[in-house]
Amino acid sequence: MSEYEIARARMVERQLIYRGIRDPLVLDAMLRVPRHEFVAPNLVDYAYDDRPLPIEDGQTISQPYIVALMVEAARLDRDATVLEVGTGSGYAAAVMAELAGRVVTVERHAGLAESARERLARLGYDSVEVVTGDGTLGWPGAAPYLAIIAAASGPRVPEAWLDQLAVGGRIVTPLGPPRGAQHLAVVTRVSEDELHEENLGGVSFVPLLGEQGWPASD
């Protein structure tokens, strides 16, 4: 095993299994995705640490445990088309690609989207499509989605996401103000007009900026 495989196995054992991540497919996906490929060269030694890390444009690559928790809650399967809002480095999209049939991921920073696109292509993640835009409007082109997973925290679940969610589908998203009390919400579309909401506890994400998120100053 390479030093990175050893670090990943340790990450899965100590950060995920120990904290209650159970789905064997999720654990397997987390064992496979080379997280060190998604951070800057000077941060490679910290890639498997139990924390988020900075990426370009003042954004972050989420903590491994949070990615696993969100992906497990989304209950992905091979038939699913998933929408991710907030591509960032592309790491979480790669984890989703290990579990779902197709992943569309939206990033508002064109530069981040471009680097993520190149990185995912280089690593062979052909089922991921990276698009630039305001993800608070979803991405109607590939709807309906069996799962919508957001890596940025808004004031409420955008109407557009509910419109683009399949019956039986799930939205997994942080909700709450920048630097304030945020929680991880799981919204399931039980039927055409019935939603069920669950709270998975406190989290800390960068703000969801856009038309149905917080106002963006740029």
Half-sphere CA count of 29, side-chain side, radius 13 A: 27
Interacting span for ligand SAH (CB under 6 A) from 28-36, 122-130, 139-147, 202-210? 202-210
Interacting span for ligand SAH (CB under 6 A) from 29-37, 42-50, 60-68, 165-173? 60-68
Tokens of 19: 């904290």
Interacting span for ligand SAH (CB under 6 A) from 27-35, 121-129, 130-138, 192-200? 130-138
Q: Which residues are catalytic?
A: 62
Q: Report in angstroms how near the CB of residue 209 gets to ligand SAH at its nearest.
A: 4
Q: Is 164 in the site for ligand SAH (CB under 6 A)?
A: no
Cα 206 to Cα 179: distance, rounded to the nearest angstrom? 8
Binding mask 77-116 for ligand SAH (x = CB under 6 A): --------xx-xx-xx-------------xxxx--x----
- What DSSP state is assigned to residue 127? T
Q: Which long-range contacts (CB under 8 A, 24 or more apart) does 174-178 make?
A: 174/150, 174/203, 174/205, 177/153, 177/207, 177/214, 178/153, 178/206, 178/207, 178/214
Q: With respect to ligand SAH, which residue has the nearer C-beta, 96 or 146?
A: 96
Residues 6+ apart with CB under 8 A from 206: 59, 60, 86, 151, 152, 153, 178
Give the binding site for ligand SAH (CB under 6 A). Answer: 59-62, 85-86, 88-89, 91-92, 106-109, 112, 134-136, 151-152, 206, 208-210, 213
